[in-house]
Structure 1
Amino acid sequence: MALQSRMTEQIGAESLEGEWEKVGSGGFGRVYKVRHKTWKFEVAIKLLQDDVGSFKKEANIMDVAFCPYVLRVFGIFEGRVPPENMSVQKGIVMEFMRRGSVQTLQTSLSGPPPWPLALRLAHEVALGVNFLHSKELVHSDLKPSNVLLDCDLHAKLADFGLSRVSTSALNNSNSNREATEEVGGSYKYMPPEAFEVSYELVRAFDTYSYGIFLWSIVTGKEPYETANYSLVALRIREGDRPSLEAIDQEKAEGLKELVDLMKECWDGNPDKRPTFKCCLDVIKDVYSKHERAIRDAVNEVLTRLDSPGFPPRTPEPSRFHDVMDNAAPQNSQQESLDGPTKRMSATDKAKFVDDNKAALFQRVSEVMAIVDKLGDMVHSETYSVILSKQTSQDQMRELFQRTLRSGGVVVKAAFYDILKKDHASLVKSLGGELE
């Protein structure tokens, strides 16, 4: 009996059991965790809000890119989602990654993971991207939030909404130009040439992003943390890159080689960036020097994450934390309060956003900085649409229509929290609470 293709297998609501637990949402739609009746394990179901063709494209890319370092797709979902039982929904059925993403790991640890684990993650990401490139695909949205972690903290690439067939792989065939014209992804991980209108996507895009990813995984920081889109777009084209001052290259064997690789990957000239095969040569060699310590490093992190009431905190020095000094982002300044205030509920925050929509369209500036802080709540293709708008008013309209409205109370509350921190005077003038 022939095996059925993963992309032809239809999985309906009748094949699933138990509670549908929402684990993510944004402009793209929603992600649920639910148990499969026959398989007896939990899966993730990504439901798209609007563009059915988009999810089919993403699912097909994931199917072609099937390997141990890419998120596995099991099939296509079609059915009604309890308890809402709305109209028939369509989406992708994928493996459920219990440990979130590299970004959530860094947040939980308040800094970088132990050095051996950081190297293993870097190695597995490089293996995944190298496999994509061998299939003539470019991910084009490589960043910590798109690297998911399984129960043992192994890495898999996810979110292929922006993946495109590589222009270089197609020898610039005119018949395939349309597939390569749309470029997106988090602007802090985009190469300087990608900010040009005429840019066509090639593998060197991922190489640049990987260099920034390496910096993030070593330091535990978000690159250009306080810089807005306009400043980043300007400065990286002039040669600015994340600071290397926080990295003591003598603190761990191989760290100097890794820093050298970062700089090669984020070179301003795409032709000078190494291929992922070359990256793997460096990463594999550095990781081999620390591989014996990986079990203890993973156990250390899992023990901390699973400890009752474990709070995010600045990591304590240990024999595995070789590069953590001055690496964790700190925010010691607290917002001052003018007298006692009540704590707003998520519903109150969402109502504030809805009630003040017109004023927010006109008065919110630096919209891309807010979009970036919303993270995975904004789908990658929605990000590209917002980015293409010329004015902050138009960007706000797209953000509201594509993300805030469909994301509901949770996303609007998150938007409010960002506003009260970055635009406190605006929130106060509109009657909001600065809790």
Structure 2
Amino acid sequence: MALPSQKTELVSDTSLDNWESVGSGGFGCVYKARHKDWGINVAIKILHKDVCSYDNNLHRSSPFTKLCDEANHMDEAASEFVLRRYGTYQGYRSGKETSMQHGIVMEFMRNGSVESLQKELSGPLPWPLVFRLAHQVALGMTFLHSKNLIHGDLKPSNVLLNMDLNAKLADFGLSRVSTSALNSSRETTEKIGGSYKYKPPEAFKASYEPARAFDRYSYGILLWSILMGKEPYPCADYALVKLRIPEGDRPCCEEIDKTKLEVDGLEALVDLMKRCWDESPSKRPTFKECFEVTEKIFSKHEKGIHKVVDDVLTRLESQNSNQSSLASNVPPQTPEQSESNDAVDNDFCKQDSVSVSTKIMSDEDKAKFVDNNRVKLIQNVTGVMAITKELGNMVHPEAYSCVEDKQKTTQEKMRVLYMTFRSGGVAVKAAFYDALKQHHPELVKRLGGYA
């Protein structure tokens, strides 16, 4: 396999086949394609036509030249934790376009982003992976800032994951293309992309000039998202965020605060998170200070990272083989459940929660609850032996022995139970749900379950 020796190498349609759309953003579309000479899949980001039109109308340089200038930032920031650029694309996307397309050719990250992983797992990630991601992002941002580069769009969808779920930063150059070229419709673009949720309070002023403190604030909100496994402010639009963030509002930490004393290093990470989103830019820690904290935290959990990554990858493979779309991994919510969850998780949304205690769940609904909340239940359920005893003969003798083993962690015991669920089907999952209600009623309620 021969990879490009020059990062400025021009890639044309003759070298590419098997084009497949994998996403889009404010600046353009992302495609996966097979490079026939290199023998690998690559990611190609192609500018929207309105970006090119803006460049042609308001700048003397061509969109291709502008794109190369932006791509050079990627070359300056080449590191282990920044997405690698292979070259620049120019072509007609194998005859599917009538006008010349311009883009950047990069390594393809087969496991998507932190955002897509959160959606596939329907919740928070295992703790060792949380701490590694926090550390790797801090390392990547330290390198970027050491090169006097500002990311400007740090969020879960721009933290990509390789085959082993290691993090690499993306879109720190092209985000500037999006901002400058689409300035006339900037608010609309940000509403779609969600970037406004990661903007510091000072950035909502018309006179704001980008500074590295911007990225430090975004990192704090990103840490919250990684810890919680979801986006902040789920029902707040751009106008509301723009109003409330400068007034001091931040994502709700009630659920995190209840857990931080139970997980080694979590309290230190929460403290770092809150310092990063400080209202005063000068009080936000540098990324060097951040990675010194995250390095110590991750060292406490590093021994468990390989098993956790294997577990997550196994689950992803299982879901991809058994389900036709990722959408089926998201638990179906009734309007009542949706309102209740928003009221708990989002301090911008103060709706009264709607009681669902009078509703009755079928065995199939209980089974779906158990499947959709697998990660959260494995991370949070305690007293596994008591629950196992209630399941009685439904649990295989070997699994029962494993749960009795005092050398195994609670999470290991829960994973064994889930293996039992696979073979036992709906009946076992429904019985587990009933036992879970007795031992962890608040957890069931928090995850959207009911009687």
TM superposition score normalised by structure 2: 0.64
Query: Once the two structures are superposed, what CA deviation does each residue of 1:379-418 show, in whole Å capped at 9, x if it has no partner?
Result: xxxxxxxxxxxxxxxxxxxxxxxxxxxxxxxxxxxxxxxx
The 5-angstrom pairing of residues 355-370 of structure 1 reads: none
Q: What secondary structure is seen at the aligned counterpart in 2 of 1:47? A: strand
Mark the CA change 1:257 to 1:286 in structure 2 (over 3 Å): closer, same or farther: same
2:199 alignment counterpart: 190
1:162 alignment counterpart: 175
CA radius of gyration, larger in: 2
> Post-superposition shift, 1:129?
0.7
Q: What secondary structure is seen at the aligned counterpart in 1 of 2:88? A: strand
Match among 62, 65, 77 for residue 65 of structure 1: 77
Looking at structure 2, the residues matched to 218 and 27 of structure 1 have their Cα atoms a distance apart, in angstroms, of 26
56-65 vs 268-277, greater mean Cα deviation: 56-65
Give aligned pairs, total.
310
Query: One-letter code of the match for 2:35?
Result: H
> Post-superposition shift, 1:26?
4.6
> Post-superposition shift, 1:292?
0.2
Q: What secondary structure is seen at the aligned counterpart in 1 of 2:19? A: strand
The 5-angstrom pairing of residues 69-148 of structure 1 reads: 69-84=81-96, 86-148=98-160
Query: One-letter code of the match for 1:40?
Result: G
Mark the CA change 1:142 to 1:134 in structure 2 (over 3 Å): closer, same or farther: same
The 5-angstrom pairing of residues 28-427 of structure 1 reads: 28-50=27-49, 51=52, 52=63, 54-84=66-96, 86-160=98-172, 161-163=174-176, 186-247=195-256, 248-307=259-318, 308-309=321-322, 312=329, 313-314=372-373, 315=375, 316-318=377-379, 319=410
118-127 vs 303-312, greater mean Cα deviation: 303-312
Q: What secondary structure is seen at the aligned counterpart in 2 of 1:287? A: helix
Query: Once the two structures are superposed, what CA deviation does each residue of 1:83-132 show, in whole Å capped at 9, x if it has no partner?
Result: 52533322111100101110000001111110000111111111111110
Which structure has more relative contact order (CA 8 Å, sep 6+)? It is 1
Query: One-letter code of the match for 2:74?
Result: M
Mark the CA change 1:47 to 1:209 in structure 2 (over 3 Å): closer, same or farther: same
> Post-superposition shift, 1:163?
4.7
CA contact (8 A) 1:111 1:328 kept: no
Query: One-letter code of the match for 1:31?
Result: V
CA contact (8 A) 1:220 1:328 kept: no
Mark the CA change 1:88 to 1:69 in structure 2 (over 3 Å): closer, same or farther: same
Query: One-letter code of the match for 1:132?
Result: L
Mark the CA change 1:27 to 1:140 in structure 2 (over 3 Å): closer, same or farther: closer
Mark the CA change 1:221 to 1:203 in structure 2 (over 3 Å): closer, same or farther: same
Looking at structure 1, the residues matched to 112 and 449 of structure 2 have their Cα atoms a distance apart, in angstroms, of 26
Looking at structure 2, the residues matched to 20 and 90 of structure 1 have their Cα atoms a distance apart, in angstroms, of 15
2:4 aligned with 1:12: no
Q: What secondary structure is seen at the aligned counterpart in 1 of 2:102? A: strand
Mark the CA change 1:326 to 1:198 in structure 2 (over 3 Å): closer, same or farther: farther
Query: Once the two structures are superposed, what CA deviation does each residue of 1:118-177 show, in whole Å capped at 9, x if it has no partner?
Result: 11111111111111000001101000011111111111111122359xxxxxxxxxxxxx
2:401 alignment counterpart: none
CA contact (8 A) 2:124 2:229 kept: yes
> Post-superposition shift, 1:258?
0.6
Q: What secondary structure is seen at the aligned counterpart in 1 of 2:22? A: strand
Mark the CA change 1:82 to 1:5 in structure 2 (over 3 Å): closer, same or farther: closer
Mark the CA change 1:302 to 1:327 in structure 2 (over 3 Å): closer, same or farther: farther
Query: One-letter code of the match for 2:24?
Result: S
> Post-superposition shift, 1:190?
0.5
Looking at structure 2, the residues matched to 288 and 134 of structure 1 have their Cα atoms a distance apart, in angstroms, of 24
User: Unpaired runs of 5+ in structure 2?
Assistant: 53-62, 178-185, 330-371, 380-409, 415-441
Looking at structure 2, the residues matched to 306 and 124 of structure 1 have their Cα atoms a distance apart, in angstroms, of 24
> Post-superposition shift, 1:320?
5.7
> Post-superposition shift, 1:332?
8.0
Mark the CA change 1:275 to 1:163 in structure 2 (over 3 Å): closer, same or farther: farther
302-311 vs 73-82, greater mean Cα deviation: 302-311
CA contact (8 A) 1:112 1:328 kept: no
Query: One-letter code of the match for 1:256?
Result: E
Looking at structure 2, the residues matched to 144 and 287 of structure 1 have their Cα atoms a distance apart, in angstroms, of 19
Looking at structure 1, the residues matched to 97 and 271 of structure 2 have their Cα atoms a distance apart, in angstroms, of 54
Mark the CA change 1:157 to 1:328 in structure 2 (over 3 Å): closer, same or farther: farther
TM superposition score normalised by structure 1: 0.67
Query: One-letter code of the match for 1:162?
Result: S
RMSD: 2.7
> Post-superposition shift, 1:266?
0.5
> Post-superposition shift, 1:5?
3.5
Query: One-letter code of the match for 1:317?
Result: I
